Structures are given as C-alpha cells and as structure tokens.
Amino acid sequence: MIKKSLIAIALVAFLAGTVQAGSPYIKKDWAKVPIAWPYEYKALGICTIDVYMNLGMYVQVKDCHDRKIELQQVDCGDIGQDDDKFPCYKDCDTFEIRANFEVKLGANLTKIGSVLKDTKIYFDDDTVDGDGVYHKHDICMEAWKAEIWTTPANMVEKVGTIEITVKPNVI
C-alpha cells in the first residue's frame, strides 16, 4: 500500500510540472515558433574609469580680423595734449573677448611708415573675467605730432598695427 501511495504521489508531482494537451501555452503551428538563433550576448558594465583632460588656457577675440581703428583728427585738448602737439588723432574700436582664466590685456603697436610719432593705446577695462563668456571691451588709440605731410592728402593709409596681448591677471 505504501508503495502504491508513493507511486501516486510521484505521478501527481510529475503531472503538476507539465503542460496539458490543448493548453494555450502550446503552439500548434511550429513554423510560427520564434527561434532565438543565433543567441546575442548582452554587454555588462563591470568597471567605470574617470577621464580627465588637461584643458590649458585659452583666450579668443571674436571676429579679430574684422577689427579696425581709423584715426580721425581731433582737437589736441580733447586727448589731453597742448596745441603745440598738433596734429592730434583718436579712434576706438569695440571688440568681444572671452577666456577661461582671468586675463590682463595689453597692446603692442608696430608703426608702418613715418606718420605716427607719439601715441597712446589704452582699454576701457584691461581685465577680462575667466568665465568663458564674451565680454565687450574698447581699445582706443591717440596720436599726436603726426607727420601727415609725408602722405598724399585725403587718403586712408595703413600707418600701423596693434597686437592685443594677454597674460594671467595675477595680483
């Protein structure tokens, strides 16, 4: 009797783990059975590595090659010079500059020809914030004792170039 009971229990356990015929889980059309072949392996992330970059320092003047100062004659008193410094000239140009560090602006003048004698170049503000955003600045040039008689009248002539210089603004 015990042997028959164990066989009955085994059959019930076997039937509980199988699917009965006519079950909705059994496909009747074997051509429609999706076959997952070939198998595709999924990539698993196992390690994260931090990436660092030595960015360095940068300064950029927006549309640098479009900049121009065209000196116009002014009264010498307008630029703080005496009348004996005649003729006097002045002009300014507004430019945009950005940097990723605080910058101190400077300027170098290269004279072309003999027209320019005494000059002064200055900025409205000679520091640039290091926030990476464009900031507007004015660069101005004044000239006095210009030797204008060495050039033809009523002519716009290139008499120099200004190089804007930058360095870290260290106090």
**Domains present along the chain, CATH in parentheses:** 59-168 (2.60.40)
Per the CB < 8 A criterion, the answer to whether 137 and 125 are in contact is yes
Sign of CA dihedral 28, 34, 35, 36: negative
Neighbours of 130 (CB within 10 A): 17
Query: In tens digits, what is the pLDDT along the chain, a chain of 171 residues?
Result: 666 655 656 555 555 555 555 555 555 565 666 666 667 788 888 999 999 988 889 999 999 989 999 999 999 999 999 999 999 999 999 999 999 999 999 999 999 999 999 999 999 999 999 999 999 999 999 999 999 887 888 888 899 999 999 999 986
Is the pTM higher than 0.75?
A: no
pLDDT value of residue 11 = 52
89 touches 76 (CB < 8 A): no
As to burial, measured by CB atoms within 10 angstroms (0-12 exposed, 13-18 middle, 19+ buried), residue 143 is buried
